[in-house]
Amino acid sequence: MAPNFLGTDELNENDMLMEELPPEAALDGPPPDLDHLLQRTLGTVREERYQAVRRRGRITALSSTLVVAGVLAGGVWLGQGMGVGGTESVDALLQGTSSSGARMAVQVTDTEGGLKLVATVHGMQDGEACWLVVHTKDGRTFTAGSWRAHGGEVTLAGSAMVRAGDVTGVSVVDHDRLPLVTAN
């Protein structure tokens, strides 16, 4: 008897495997338009990536512009609140000299929240604890700032919850609340 290289069972198994394959598997070689399909697919991927990069660039530019605009608007707003914008006018300029030779000049400006003071004081004793005090028509006093004096001139900004029209004077007082110099 001759040897049986392929048995019936093996042929049936091969037939079953062939039935499971899609018809495209029986083609000889790749489809003829494969290069065109590959080029179209790569072109689509490139275009989508280009659009994503452009979109990201636009978002970055827009957000940067908004941040810069916000910073500028905040600076303008803060500048106006501090009187830098020039919209506030100085309501009073008070000056005074003490018998010991200390001098003081104070700009008084009315603001929405009360009173803003910019005082320039010269001639305080080195190391002296000083308080800037606002005096009103009805006898009240408001502390607007404090510092420790040194040998030179000091410019100090302060504020008080009172209207500029109610101010009768501004003093620099010592630790015992004795006036060192007063500007009227």
3-state secondary structure of 78: helix
Which of the two residues, 125 and 32, has the higher pLDDT score?
A: 125
Secondary structure, 3-state, the chain: CCCCCCCHHHHHHHHHHHHHCCHHHHCCCCCCCHHHHHHHHHHHHHHHHHHHHHHHHHHHHHHHHHHHHHHHHHHHHHHHHCCCCCCCCCCEEEEEECCCCCEEEEEEEEECCEEEEEEEEECCCCCCEEEEEEEECCCCEEEEEEEECCCCCEEEEEEECCCHHHEEEEEEECCCCCEEEEEC
Name the token pair of 145: 């700032």
Q: What is the pLDDT of residue 164?
A: 86
19-63: pLDDT as tens digits = 676 666 666 666 666 678 788 888 899 999 999 999 998 999 888
**92-183 has which fold?**
Immunoglobulin-like (2.60.40)
Domain residue ranges in the chain: 23-81, 92-183
Binning pLDDT at 50, 70 and 90, where does residue 67 land? confident
pTM for the model stands at 0.52
Q: What is the pLDDT of residue 138?
A: 94
**According to the per-residue pLDDT averaged within each range, which of 14-18, 28-32, 77-81, 134-138 is highest?**
134-138
The DSSP result for 7-28, as a single string, is: -HHHHHHHHHHHHHS-GGGGSS
Give the residue from 133, 139, 137, 124 showing the smallest Cα distance to 106: 133
Q: For residues 117 and 107, what is the distance between their CA atoms, to the nearest angstrom? A: 6
